[in-house]
Amino acid sequence: MRQVTLGSTGITVPQNGFGALPIQRVTKEEAVQLLQNAYAGGMRYFDTARAYSDSEEKLGAAFHDLWDKVFLATKTHAKTPAEFWQHLETSLRLLQTDCIDVYQFHCVDQCWRPGDGSGMYEAMLEARQQGKIRHIGATAHKIEVAFECVESGLYETMQFPFSYLASPREIELVNLCREKNVGFIAMKGLAGGLINRSEAAMAYIAHYDNVLPIWGIQREQELAEWISYMTDTPAMTDKISAYIAKEQQELSGEFCRGCGYCMPCPAGIEINQCARMSLMLRRAPSEAWLTPAMQAEMKKIEDCLNCRQCTRKCPYELDTPELLRKNYEDYKKVLTGETKV
């Protein structure tokens, strides 16, 4: 079983981590069973966040007597020290632990530093001094912010989207983390659902020995698949390599990853679904995309205010209003039968 070490933290775990965002969508009993099955299957790194509604509470219920046997990462989206401490104390209580292994600033849009006037990094240092956290990390979606955090020497881990659709600049970030001895945690290894062959995703990420992927898991079937890859990791065969090359060509350019950081929309548009509808119709075919309810969601695009709030929030700097319009035009053609999918 391949092991991954998260840089200077010294945390060494089997190659697949458990992303606990999706367990928000299942009952507490189902989540506890899923998490305990993940532990039994060999997973030892579990990732959550204060922003993931009841995810922390479910992890606490599953592992309250096992925290010495697994590694826990959670996050704060706080913008002030007061909010930071509120988040940290809430996380500790819900997780039923007195110390968090990796505590991360969540989806940062700047590199918090000592002496920057915010007090945010000082709060992290104080939390570590008090023994409430062990390691300081950050998660980001903006590539240049991620580079700044890694180059600062202030963060022990960087969590960033990474898959076989990665740009050369994103691969450069992974290599910089290796050079700086910063642990690299890969989120969105399936590109928000656009990648539909898990063995290809796993074979690609396993090629980078300093990358720990966390996979969002909601169902036992998904869990079984990722656990199987821990002992029988897919190899990068010529066939898989050719498939990935074809995927990279087809998905080059601008596309919505479905991260949802553009939300909420003042016009009520479900941007993180509607702005990638053309891709989902072709890559994850389902009658659900064509139901009256989804048609009503897509029709809301007609009410776009063009306020560009979504564009300003988008970590990938997409022209979201234009992307919405293109997806809506394509969607209408699919509904009329003019375009076949």
Q: Percent of the chain beyond pLDDT 90?
A: 90
Give the pLDDT confidence score for residue 33 in this predicted structure.
98
58-76: per-residue pLDDT in tens? 999 999 999 999 999 999 9
Single pTM value for the model = 0.90
Q: At what angle do helices 198-206 and 220-231 cross, to 10 degrees?
A: 40
Burial of 103 (0-12, 13-18, 19+ CB in 10 A): buried
Tokens 């062959």 sit on residue: 197
Q: Say if strands 211-216 and 183-187 run parallel, antiparallel, or are unpaired.
A: parallel
Least confident of 47-51, 164-168, 253-257, 307-311: 253-257
User: What is residue 38's predicted lDDT score, i.e. its pLDDT?
Assistant: 98
Q: For 137-145, what is the mean pLDDT? A: 95
Distance CA 252, CA 87 (A): 38
Residue 285 sits at φ, ψ, to 5 deg, of -55, 135
Predicted pLDDT at 3: 96
Confidence of residue 1 (pLDDT cuts 50, 70, 90): confident
For tokens 């990094």, the residue is: 121
Express each pLDDT in 201-238 by its tens digit.
999 999 999 999 999 999 999 999 999 999 999 999 99
What is the rounded distance in angstroms from the CA atom of residue 54 to the CA atom of residue 139?
20
Give the 3-state secondary structure of the chain: CCEEECECCCCEEECCEEECCHHHHCCHHHHHHHHHHHHHCCCCEEECCCCCCCHHHHHHHHHCCCCCCCEEEEEECCCCHHHHHHHHHHHHHHHCCCCEEEEEECCCCCCCCCCCCCCHHHHHHHHHHCCCEEEEEEECCCHHHHHHHHHHCCCCEEEEECCCCCCHHHHHHHHHHHHHCEEEEEECCCHHHCCCCHHHHHHHHHCCCCEEEEEECCCHHHHHHHHHHHHCCCCCCHHHHHHHHHHHHHCCCCCCCCCCCCCCCCCCCCHHHHCCHHHHHHHCCCHHHHCHHHHHHHHHHHHCCCCCHHHHHCCCCCCHHHHHHHHHHHHHHHHHCCCCC
- Give the model confidence (pLDDT) of 173-211 as tens digits: 999 999 999 999 999 999 988 898 999 999 999 999 999
Return d(Cα 167, Cα 164) in angstroms, integer.
9
For residue 5, is pLDDT > 90?
Answer: yes
As beta bridge partners, residue 211 has 184
pLDDT at residue 259, rounded to an integer = 84
Spell out the CATH class of 3-241: alpha beta
Q: What percent of the chain has pLDDT over 70?
A: 100
Q: Quick one: pLDDT band at residue 257, thresholds 50, 70, 90?
A: confident
Domain-wise residue ranges, the chain: 3-241, 271-336
Query: Is the pLDDT reported for residue 317 higher than 90?
Result: no
Residue-wise pLDDT for 264-297, tens only, equals 999 999 999 999 999 989 888 788 899 999 999 9
pLDDT of residue 310: 96
Cite the beta strand spans of 26-147 per DSSP E: 45-47, 71-76, 100-105, 133-139
